[in-house]
Amino acid sequence: MGKALIIGAGGVASVAIHKCCQNPEVFEEICIASRTVEKCEAIKNKLAGNRTIIHTAQLDADNTEQVIDLIKSFQPDIVINLALPYQDLTIMDACLATGVDYLDTANYEPPDIAKFEYKWQWAYREKFAEAGLTALLGSGFDPGVTGVFCAYAQKHYFDEIHSIDIVDANAGDHGYPFATNFNPEINIREITATGRYYENGSWIETDPLSVKKVYDLPEIGPKNIYLMYHEELESLAKNIKGVKRIRFWMTFSDNYLNHLRVLENVGMTSIEPINFEGQQIIPLQFLKAVLPDPASLGPRTKGKTNIGCIIQGIKDGKPKTYYVYNICDHQECFAEVGSQAISYTTGVPAMIGAMLMLQGIWKKPGVFNIEEFDPDPFMEALNKWGLPWQESFSPTLLD
């Protein structure tokens, strides 16, 4: 059916590429392009023998001209951006210059400061609309599947949605006393940021990790969940009409937070350079060097993730509650594609979003967040491609 240019060769890209190769009718030919071409070649070699034809290319996606040249030579039908959030705009510019559809899994971030805002990418709406091109933003899990879950609830179960609580739980255990699932610098920055949620048209700020509850999650059990800001809150507040409150919660164990607190207290999470025996070092970078490499956690992580949306509202004049969630097992993911559940739950939805765009099922001119498309084909594909979901109509609610 089509050709996809996949930019990035990290954890998420590796899963998405495995899934494209399981789906050769749609992904006939792909090109894996990234900064370190050896990583692209390693993925290609692992998947040799599949029907999908795989090419590789070295690419600095910060350079729009390089992306344009590669698009011109490979002639893809879609560009799947699985590099880092810093590359979103250069890649969108290249898509506009060459007339190709675009998909990503994370909002654009200016390199110097974490913002978690869509404004830069939403500013491309008219340009994509005028060019007759589709840009799908945030086709991972959160953002991604969580937005599809909300659109599905709105379409099938509610006349009015009043509140949404997104709960992201990871009960995976890698056996180390302390390690981060992804880049420690980004992880620590996210966790120590101010919390924020949407209520009655305003954004309410909370001190970092100051709002904590216990929630009993299916197949995982009771866990401490902490209120945090997450980027999909911004688009859902606009796109789920009439919603009064949206919050995002994530699990952290006491052990994890204790280690983090000690590291912060002794200055190891600082990004201010210090002089150590005549050498300038940044404590957080030194800490990253002594911590386990997140990529090495895959083979040793046991347990499950559970990510879902608890929704409250009105149907036919009566109050209604709904909980829709996916449970993913770290070891099963590793056995299937060689990555743990964090990359798996992002790489599978990236493939599904791209598949629906290539099939012409999700195709409209402009820049869209995922909840702006018909959720039904995506929900069906989640069941088929490894992220089956479950629903309950009597969940415990978060007050």
Q: Where do contacts with ligand NDP occur on this chain (CB under 6 A)?
A: 7-13, 34-36, 39, 59-62, 82-85, 87, 105-106, 138, 140-144, 182, 343, 346
Q: Which is nearer to ligand NDP, 11 or 395 (CB)?
A: 11
Whole-number minimum distance, CB 124 to ligand NDP, in Å?
A: 17
Q: How many CB atoms lie within 10 A of CB 115?
A: 14
Whole-number minimum distance, CB 66 to ligand NDP, in Å?
A: 9
Q: Contact 54/79 with Cβ under 8 angstroms?
A: no
Whole-number minimum distance, CB 307 to ligand NDP, in Å?
A: 9
Nearest by Cα to 23 from 350, 340, 276, 294: 350
Cα separation, 356 vs 364, whole angstroms? 12
Phi (first) and psi of residue 103, to 5 degrees: -145, 145
CB-based closest residue to ligand NDP: 10
Please tell me the chain's helix, strand, coil percentages from 3-state DSSP, rounded to the nearest 5. Answer: 40, 30, 35
Q: Which is nearer to ligand NDP, 85 or 184 (CB)?
A: 85
- Look at strands 53-58 and 78-81 and give their pairing: unpaired
For the record, the structure tokens of 58 come out as: 């070295």
Nearest by Cα to 369 from 87, 153, 122: 122
Q: Distance between alpha carbon 48 and the CA centroid of its chain, in Å?
A: 27
Q: Which is nearer to ligand NDP, 91 or 225 (CB)?
A: 91
For the record, the structure tokens of 280 come out as: 């300038």
Q: Which is nearer to ligand NDP, 89 or 314 (CB)?
A: 89
Whole-number minimum distance, CB 11 to ligand NDP, in Å?
A: 4
Whole-number minimum distance, CB 105 to ligand NDP, in Å?
A: 4
Q: Which is nearer to ligand NDP, 292 or 365 (CB)?
A: 292
Whole-number minimum distance, CB 114 to ligand NDP, in Å?
A: 11
Q: Which is nearer to ligand NDP, 267 or 388 (CB)?
A: 388
